[in-house]
Structure 1
Amino acid sequence: MTRLDVPSPSPATATDGLAHDTELLSASLIGVLEEQMGRVFASRLQWLFKTAASVRAGDETAVGRLVSYLSGVPDESVEPIIRACSLELQLANIAEERERVRRRRQYDATGEVQRESLAETAEILERNNVDVAPLAAQLQIEHVLTAHPTEATRRSVLDHQWDVAALLDRLDDPRIGHSRRRALLEELREVLTLWWQTDELRRIRPRVEDEVRRNLFFFEAVLFDAVPAVLAEIEHALDVRLVQPVLSYGSWTGGDMDGHPEVGADTLARALQLHRRTALTLFRDRVDRLARMFSHSSLRIPLSQELTESLDQDALDLPSAAVLRRPHREWEPLRTKLGFVHHRLGNTLTPRGREPGYADAQALRRDLELVLAHLNSRHVALGTIRRLLWQVDVFGFHLAGIDIRQGAGVLREATAAILPGYGDADGEPRRQALLTEALASGRRGIEHDPGGEAGELLRVLDTVALSADAYGPQAVPAFVISMTEHPSDVLAATWLAQRAGATSLRMVPLFETRSALEQAPATMAELYACEPYVAHLRAQANRQTVMVGYSDSGKDTGYVGSTWALYNAQEQLAAQATEAGVVLELFHGRGGSPSRGGGRTYRAILAQPEGTVNGRIRITEQGETVSARYADAELAERSLEQTISAVMLASALPNPPVRDEWRAEMERLSERSRERYRGLVYDDPEFLRFFGQFAPIAELSQLNIGSRPPSRKGVAGVESLRAIPWVFAWTQNRLLLPSWYGAGTALAAGDLELQREMWRNWPFFRGLIGTLEMALFKSDLGVAERYLSLVDDDIAQRFWADLVAEYDSVVERVLTITNQGQLLDDTPALQRRLEHRNPWIDPLSHLQVELLRRVRSGREEARSPLLATITGIAAGMRNTG
C-alpha cells in the first residue's frame, strides 16, 4: 500500500445534534436580546437573517429591501446588529465543534474505527507489515505557537465561548432530569448575557506580553493534560512502549523580532519568566493532586533505604515544608515525599532563603521516579504518575521553547557594525570567508552597540546566553533567520550567537520567496561544506532544521507556483541532507488560510515528497488555528492524533513514483499560474488602487488584533504588506483571491486526462486540487460583488470581469478533474458545515460594505461598528490569515 491508498474520510451524515444545538443556542440568544435590546430589535434581527438568505437564494427583490434597510440604519444603531450577527455566528461554530466531539464519542462508544485516528493507523501499518516499535521510537513532532495578527477574538470572549461549549456538553448528557436541564439553560442565558455585555473589540492594541499570556492559556486549559492522554493512546493503539515523549512545543511569542519593534531582550526575558512560572505552577498543582491520591501506608508498600535517606535529606533541606507538620507523615512515606516535592517546586518558583529548589526538570523527574519505584502496582504505575512523568518530559520547566527570529537584513547590519571589513566586503565569497575565519578563530570583533534593531538583536543574544544558564538550553532552542538568501546570512547568525555565548542555539534558515526556495539547496550545500558550520551541526547532534515559508511565497508567486516551489525545495533539501550525512528536520510555516498552507494537516503531511518526513516534523500553529484546535480537550486530542497518524504513515509508506510527465505538467502549471497572478497583482499599475477600495486593507491597520505592524517599513505597494493582512483582507470581502487566482488559466491550458491521472495517482497533486476546492467553496462572488460598489467606475468592471472569468475557469476545471457536479460533493459533511455559517456571515458582509462606504465618506462615527464587522467575519471564516 502507498500513501495514496490510505482511506480518506467517509462522508458523514448530518445528525440531529447539530441542528438541535444550533436551534437551542439561537433561541437562547434571542431571549437574551429581547431582554437587553427589546422585542423589536430581536424581530428585526430575524428579518435580517431571512432577507440575507433570500439574497443568497437569488431573490433580486430581496437585494433592494436589504440595501434600502442597511443604508437607513443610523450609525448608533448598527453596532448592536453587528454584535448580534457575530454572536450568532460564533455560536454556530460552537455547535459545530460540539458535533465533532459528539461524533468522536460515537465512534468510541460503538467501537467503530474513526478515520485518521491512531486506531486506523495501527490497522494500516499492520496490513503493510510495518514494525511499529522503531517507527514510534523515532517520532519527533513539534508544534510551534505563533502570534500573528489573525486572531481577532479577545481572551474574555474566548472564556465565554468555552463556558457555552461546556454547558452544551452537560446538556447533552441523557441522564439529566427536567430541573437540572432548566438550571443549565438558565446558566446558559446568564453566560450569553455576559458575553453580549462584553466588548468584542480591543480598545488598545495588545502588547507582546498579552500574546504570550494568551498562548500560555491554551497550555494551562487544554494542552498540559491533553498531551499525556494522546501519548497513552499511542501506546494503547499501537501496542508499544514509548521511549521518548514524541510531542514537544515551541513558541514565537516574545522572541519574534522580525519587523516587530516591540520585541527585544526585555520581552524575551519576560516571556521566559512567564513560561517558567506557568510550568512550575502547573507541576505544583499536579503534584498536590497526586499527594492527595497517594495515601499508601508504609505497611502496604516496600520502604527502601534510598527512599528513607531521601526523606531524611528533604527534612534537613526543607525545614519550612508544611508536610513536616503532618502527624501521619511517617506512616505515609509516598505522600510525604510528594509533599517535599511540592515544597521544592515552590522554592523553584519563589526562592525561600537558603532552602533549595530544583535545578532542572530532570531533578524533579528523579524524585518522581523514586516514588514510582515504590508503588508495588502496575495499575498505579501506569496511571496518574505516568502522565505526570510524561508532562515533565514534554514540557519541562520551560513549557515551550521560545524561538528567536530576525530578518537576514538586520543580521547583516549587526555583523557589519562589529566585524571589521564585513560591511565593505565585495560579494558573497568574501563575506563567507570573513565569517568562516571569525568562527574558526573565535574572534569577537568590535565591542560596539550599533543601536536600532541591530543593537537590540545583540542584546537578545546576550539574553539567550544567560537564559541557557538560568533555564536550560531548551528554553530558547532555535534562531530562525527570516528571508535567508545567502549562506552568509546563516553564518552571520552563527557567529553572532557564538560571540554572545549562545552556543546552544540551532540555526534555522527560513526560505520564503520563490527565488529563495529555488536557491535553498545551493545555500545549504555551501553551509555543509563550511567546516565551522559543520562543527556547529555536530554540536547539534548533526541535526539541521530548515524552515519553508508558505506565506510570502504564496504572496510572491500565487498558490500553485508557491506549492510547487515548496515541494521541489523540500525534495532537494532532503536528498542533499542524506548525502551530507545530516539529519534534516523540515519546519513548515503554515498559516490558517489555503494560500498560506492552511487546510487539513493530515492530507498535507501525506502529500509531502518522498523522504522528507522520516518521523520528524515541525509545524507552526498560527492565529485562529490555535483556538480552533486547542479550545477543547477532546478536539485537541483529535487534532494531535491526526498529525501523529499522518507523520507515521508518511514515514512508513512510500509515495507512488512521480512520473516525468507529471513533473513537466507541474512546471508548466507553476509558470503559467505565476505569470497570470503576478500580471494582476504586481504588474497592473491600477491594481493597488482597486485592492485598496475593494478590500478593507486600510481599515485593518486600525484593528487591535495583534501587536505586529501590518506592513514592512521602507517597502512600497503590495510588497510592503505582510502576507497575513494581505490574505486577511481578501477573506473579509469573501473573494479569497490569493488562494486560487491564476490556477484556472494554468489548468485549463493543460492536458485534462493527464491532470486526472495526476489527481488519481499523486498525493501531492490531489492535495493541491483539494485545497483549491476548499478555497473556491469558501469564496463567494455573490457577496464579493457587493464590494464592487466601493470601487471607482473606471476600473471596477475591468477587474471584476477578469476575476469572475478566472474563478469560473478554475471551478470548471476542478469539477472536471474530480468528476463532481458541485464543489465538495465528495465531502458533504464539510460542505454542510461551511454552508451552515452563511446565514450569519452574509448579514455582516452586507453591513461591512455599507459601513466602509460611510467611513470612506468621512463619517468617523461609523468606524467602530465597521471594525466590529471585521472581527465578526474573521470569527466566522476562521482561517482568516
Structure 2
Amino acid sequence: MKQVLPKELTSLVNWSVTELGKVIAEKLGQKGYTRIERIRRFVKSPEGQKKEGLLKLKKDLEKLSAVDQYAIAHAFSLMLELINSCESAYRTYRLQQEETAAQEAPYGMIIHVLTAHPTESRSSDIIYYFAKIQKLLTNRLKRPEDGDTDLLHIYLNWVWHLPMSKQRKPSVMDEAEYIYSLALKNETLKVFIQQRELKQPFYIRTWVGGDKDGHPGVDEKTMLGSLQLSRGFLYEWVQTKYKQYLTDLVPLAHSSYDKKDIRRLLGKSKSLLTIIKSIRKISHGDAPRVHKLRESFDHISKEYRSCFGVDAPALHEIRSLMRVFPGLVVPLEFREDSSLVHEALKGHKSSNIVRMLKSLDKISPHHDPRFYVRGFVLSNTESAEDIAAGVLLTKKYLKECRIPVVPLFESAAGLENSVAIINTFLALPRQLQVIKKFWSRRLEVMVGYSDSAKENGSLPSRVLIETAVNDLEKTIQSYDLEPIFFHGSGGSIERGGGSVQEQTAWWPASALNVVKVTVQGEMIYRNYSSSEILQRQLQRFCESRRDLSPRRTKTDAKTKKLLHHMASEVRASYQGLVQNPDFLDLIEHATPYVFLKDLKMGSRPAKRQGTVNLRSLRAIPWVLCWTQTRILFPTWWGVGSFWQSLTPAQKSAYKKAFREVPVFRSYIKALGFTLAKIELPVFEMYLYSSPLDREVVESFLTSFHSELRLCHKAFVEITGQKKLLWYREWLEESIHLRSPLIHPLNVLQLIALKNRDIPLLRETVTGVASGMLTTG
C-alpha cells in the first residue's frame, strides 16, 4: 500500500512508540521486551493474520503466567492508545495551522447531549495522563527540535503502572465528574463564548443524573448531584473571572477618571461578591437567586460602560456564558419508559421520576425549569396516549407542562407509526396550546439509532429513520410548529455514527436549523480533547447547513420503493440470523457478553436480568460484542446476498441511487469503513475457541464467509471503486497499520474468557476498544 499518511504523523508515531518500547524494556527486561516485539512482528506477517496463526499464538501465550499475559496486553493497549494520541495531536496541530474561514450567515444552534452509557472503558487516570501526553505530542509537532523526550518517558512510565481499564463500577457522580471535567474546562468554555459571539450558539445538555430509563440508581439525589457538580465548575470560573475584573478595577479608583463614579462602581462591584457566593450551592429557590445574579451582572456592566464607554472584558465573558448556561448549570434531560410514566400518573408518588419532578419544582419556583431540565424523553413511545401522559405528569408536578415532552421512536413499529402517533397527539384537546404557550412552538422528537439497528440491522434502521424524519418534518410543520429532531446516535457505525457529513447528508432542513445529537462514552473525550477539534466538529455542521440545496433534491417514488425493498430484504435476512437459537448460543459462548457485568464500564446495568434473548440484549453491549470480536456484522449482513439476487437492470438502478440518494450513499460509505475494519480470521478464532458444537461453528463460518464475500463484491459494483475508503485513503492506511496490533489482545481476551481472568479481560476489552476507536 502506497503511504498516504502525513510524514509528520508517522514520525510522531515512530518517536513516541520507540519511547514506549524503552519503557517496556525497563519494566519487563530485555526478555519481556523481545517477546512483545516478536509478537508484534508475527501478527504483521501473513501467517499472523490467519486463523491458524492466531490459534498457534494463543497456544504459545497460554503457557505464560497470568502476570506475563497481562503485561503483554498492557503493552499493546498502551501502544494503541498512544497511536490514538498521536493522531489526535496531529489533527489538533493541523487545525491550529489553518486560517479560520470567515463565517457566513447564522446556521442555527447545535446541542450536544452528553451521555454516559457503558461505552467508555478506559479508567479516568489513564484518560488524565494521556491528555497530558497528547498536549506534549502537539507541542512536538509545532517545534520538533524542542520535543521533550524525557517528559514523554516519564509520562509513559506513569501510565505503565496504571491499568487501562476501570477497576470499579463508576457511580453516576463519577460519570458526571468525567463529563464536566472535559466539557467545562477553561478552553472549552471559551468555545461556548466564541460561538455565541459568532451568532452560532452551541449548547450542551446531559442525561447523567436524569436518565431514569432502565437505571435503578437515578433519582432526585443524582439529579441534584449532577446539577451541583456542573454548578461547581461554572461557579469557580465565574468567581475567578469576577475577581480578575475587581483586580483590574481597583487601581482606577486612584486614576485621573472621575473618582466619585469609580468608587461608586467599585463599591457596587464588591457587594456583588455576596450575591455570587449565594448561588454556590443549589437549594430550594435557586432559580430566583441565579436570576438576581444575572440582573446584577447586567447592571454592573451598564455602570462600567457609563464610566469608561466600553465593556469590561471579564464581565462581558461572564454575561455571555450565563446566556449559554442561564441556570449556571449544565441542564439535564430526563428520560423514563413510557409505561412507567403511566404508572406514575396513576398515583405512584414514590416513583423516582415523580420525586425528580418535585425536586425540579422546588429549585425553580415561578421560574423557567428549562434552565435546569431541558426536556422529558419518553422511551418506547408507541401511542399518542404515551405523550399525553408525559404532558399530564409534568403539569401535575410543575403546575404547568413547562418542560417539553419528547417522544422517542426507536423500534421499527414506533418509527413506522410515528407520523400517525404525532397526528393523533396533536389532535387531542389543548396539546397545540401547550406547545405554543410553553414549548416555544417547537415539537421535539427523538429518533433512536442503536435499538433500531440492533433490531433490524444498520441499513434498514437508517431507511426507517430517514423516512420517519422527513415525514415528521412535513407533519409537524403542517400544524404551524417547528420540528426539532433529537438524534440518539452513537460513535460506532452500528449505532448510527460516522463523519458529520455522512450523518447529516440525508437530514431535512429543520434537522440542521437546530442540530441536537447525543455524544456518548469515548466520543466525548475524542470531541472535547482539544478546543480545535471541537470547533472543527461544529464547523462541519455549519458546512452541512450551507450545503442544503443539492441534497434537497427529492427522491422519486420509484427510487424510494427500491430502497425500501432493499431495506426490507436485508432486515429479513438479518432477523433470520439473530433470531436463530444457535446464534444466541454464539453470543453467550463466543463473545464477552456474559462477562459484561465484570467490565465496570458504566453505572447503568450492562445487561438486563434473565436468560440471553434478543429483546433483553441492550443495544450498546450488543455492539460491543461485535466490535470486540472484529466482525461488526449488523452493518453489512444481508447486503451481499440481496445484491446477488438482482438482475443487471436492477443493479443499475441501485448504482444510480448510490450517486443520487444521500441516505443510500452515506450508508454505502459507512459500509466501506466497516468492511475495512473487519477481521474474519479473528472472529473464526473466537468460534473455534468456544464450546459450541463444531457443526454449528462450521455452519456459521460458511454463512459469514459467503455473506462477507458477496458484500465486498456488492460494494465494489455499487461504488465502482476498488478501495473501501477511496474518499479518505489516509484512514484506510491507518486502519491497515493498526489492525494487526489488535490481534494479540483478541488472543489474550480468549485466554481471559477461558480462565475467567477478569483483570486480563478488562485490559483486553479496553485495548481492543482503543484499536477499534470505539467500545460499542
Which residue, 512, 521, 534 being the options, matches 1:636?
534
Unaligned runs of 5+ in 1: 1-10, 109-116, 123-131, 236-241, 315-336, 419-447, 856-861
**Out of 245, 253, 277, which is 2:208 matched to?**
253
Identify the range of structure 1 (494-503 vs 616-625) with the bigger mean alpha-carbon deviation. Answer: 494-503
Aligned to 1:401: 331
Aligned to 1:494: 391
**CA offsets, 1:53-106, max 9 Å, x none?**
114775788557523421212223211111111000100000111111222234
CA separation in 1, counterparts of 2:91 and 2:142? Answer: 16
Amino acid corresponding to residue 474 of structure 2 in structure 1: A
- Is 2:699 aligned against 1:798? yes
Equivalent of residue 662 in structure 2, options 741, 763, 786: 763
Partner of 2:138: 169
Aligned partner of residue 600 in structure 2, secondary structure: coil
Question: 1:358–1:255: structure 2 CA closer, same or farther, 3 Å change rule?
Answer: closer
Q: Partners of 2:260 and 2:439 in 1: how far apart?
A: 39
1:141 pairs with 110, 118, 130, which one? 110
Alpha-carbon deviation of 1:311? 4.5
- For 1:198-237, list aligned pairs within 5 A: 198-221=162-185, 222-231=187-196, 235=198
Counterpart contact for 1:734–1:778, Cα < 8 Å: yes
1:550 and 1:589 in contact (8 A); partners too: yes
1:264 to 216, 219, 229: 219
The letter of the residue matching 1:411 is V
Task: Give the deviation of 1:832 after TM superposition.
Answer: 1.8
2:195, 2:202 within 8 Å by CA — same for their partners in 1? no
Select the residue among 32, 40, 43 that pairs with 2:34.
Answer: 43
Matched residues in 1 for 2:282 and 2:227: separation?
17
Instruction: Say if 1:404 and 1:479, in contact at 8 Å, map to a contact too.
Output: yes
8 Å CA contact retained: 1:574, 1:612: yes
Q: 1:871 aligns with which of 761, 766, 770?
A: 766
d(CA) in 1 for partners of 2:151, 2:654 = 55
| Distance (Å, rounded) in 1 between the aligned partners of 2:382 and 2:330 | 29
Residue from 804, 809, 812 that aligns with 2:713: 812
Residues in 2 aligned to 1:822 and 1:788: alpha-carbon distance in whole angstroms = 29
Is the CA contact 1:744–1:810 (under 8 Å) kept in the aligned structure 2? yes
SS at match of 1:545: strand
* Superposition deviation, residue 469 in structure 1: 2.9
Match 1:680 to one of 567, 577, 589 = 577
Query: Among residues 548, 558, 579, which one is paired with 1:661 in the alignment?
Result: 558
Shift of the alpha carbon at 1:345?
Answer: 1.9
Name which of structure 1's ranges 523-532 and 481-490 shifts more when overlaid on structure 2: 523-532
User: Which of the numbers 462, 467, 477 marks the counterpart of 2:358?
Assistant: 462
Distance 1:307 1:251 in 2: 42
Counterpart position of 2:376: 479
Sort the Cα spacing of 1:501 and 1:811 in 2 relative to 1 into closer, same or farther, 3 A.
same
1:15 and 1:295 map into 2 onto residues whose CA distance is 52
Alignment of 1:735 with 2:631, yes or no, is: yes
1:407-450 Cα offsets, whole Å, 9 max, x none, are: 012112223x32xxxxxxxxxxxxxxxxxxxxxxxxxxxxx64x
Alignment partner of 1:698 is 2:594:
yes
Matches within 5 A, 1:10-49: 13-49=4-40
Shift of 1:641: 1.8
- The alignment status of 1:594 with 2:563, answered yes or no, reads no
| Cα offset, 1:107, TM superposition | 3.1
Look up the match of 1:411. Answer: 341
> Within 2, Cα distance between the matches of 1:374 and 1:303?
11
Deviation at 1:552, TM superposition (A): 0.7
Match of 1:575 in 2: 474
**Superposition deviation, residue 472 in structure 1:** 4.8
Decide which moves more: 282-291 or 199-208. 282-291
The match for 1:858 is none
SS of residue in 2 equivalent to 1:477: strand
Aligned-pair distance for 1:819?
Answer: 1.3
Which stretch has the larger CA shift, 476-485 or 612-621?
612-621
1:775 corresponding residue in structure 2: 674
Query: Which SS does the other structure have where 1:469 is aligned?
Result: coil
Does the 8 Å contact 1:677/1:741 carry over to 2? Answer: yes
1:202 maps to a residue whose letter is: K
Higher mean C-alpha displacement, 201-210 vs 556-565: 201-210
Give the CA deviation at 1:872. 1.2
Tell whether the 8 Å contact from 2:77 to 2:164 is kept in structure 1 after alignment: no
> Which ranges of structure 2 fall in alignment gaps of 5 or more residues?
none
What is the rounded CA distance, in whole Å, between the counterparts of 2:501 and 2:260 in structure 1? 50
Distance 2:55 2:768 in 1: 23
* Worse-superposed segment, 73-82 or 618-627: 73-82
Give the superposition deviation at 1:685: 2.2
Does residue 363 of structure 1 match 2:298?
no
- Partner SS, residue 98 of structure 2: helix
SS in 2 for 1:707: coil
CA contact (8 A) 2:116 2:520 kept: yes
For residues 376 and 306 of structure 1, do their structure 2 counterparts lie closer, same or farther at Cα, with a shift above 3 Å needed?
Answer: closer
**The one of 65, 72, 75 aligned to 2:66:** 75
Q: Which residue of 2 aligns with 1:532?
A: 430
Partners of 1:265 and 1:463 within 8 A in 2: yes
The 1-side partners of 2:226 and 2:123 are apart by 20
State the match for 1:846 in structure 2.
747
Task: Give the structure 2 partner of residue 718 of structure 1.
Answer: 614
More moved, 395-404 vs 140-149 = 395-404
**1: distance between equivalents of 2:587 and 2:260?**
75
TM-score by length of structure 2 reads: 0.92
One-letter identity of the residue aligned with 1:530? L
Q: How far does the alpha carbon of each residue in 1:750-776 deviate from its partner, in whole angstroms, 9 at most, with x for none?
A: 422112211112222111111111111
Query: How many residue pairs are counted as aligned between the two chains?
Result: 762
Identity within the alignment, %: 25
1:564 is matched with which residue: 457, 463, 470?
Answer: 463
1:718–1:398: structure 2 CA closer, same or farther, 3 Å change rule?
farther
Q: Superposition RMSD on alpha carbons, in Å?
A: 2.8
Is 1:286 equivalent to 2:241 in the alignment?
A: yes
Match of 2:454 in 1: 555
Task: Single out whichever of 822-831 and 147-156 deviates more from structure 2.
Answer: 822-831
**Partner deviation per Cα, 1:512-567 (whole Å, 9 max, x = no partner):** 10110011111110111122322221221111110000011111111111111101
Per-residue deviation, 1:190: 1.3
> Cα distance 1:873–1:340, how it changes in 2: closer, same or farther (>3 A)?
farther
Q: Which residue of 2 aligns with 1:238?
A: none
State the partner residue of 2:276.
345
CA contact (8 A) 1:712 1:721 kept: yes
d(CA) in 2 for partners of 1:763, 1:54: 39
User: Which residue number corresponds to residue 505 of structure 1?
Assistant: 403
Deviations along 1:814-852, one digit per CA (max 9) or x if unpaired, are 122111112113311111222232242122112212332
Q: Deviations over 1:20-76 (max 9, x none)?
A: 111111121122222222221112111111111114775788557523421212223
> Which amino acid in the other structure matches residue 172 of structure 1?
L
1:359 & 1:303 partners in 2: Cα distance? Answer: 31
**TM-score, normalization by structure 1:** 0.82
Give the C-alpha shift of residue 172 in structure 1.
2.8
SS of structure 1 residue aligned to 2:228 = helix
Counterpart of 1:320 in structure 2 is none
CA contact (8 A) 2:677 2:739 kept: no
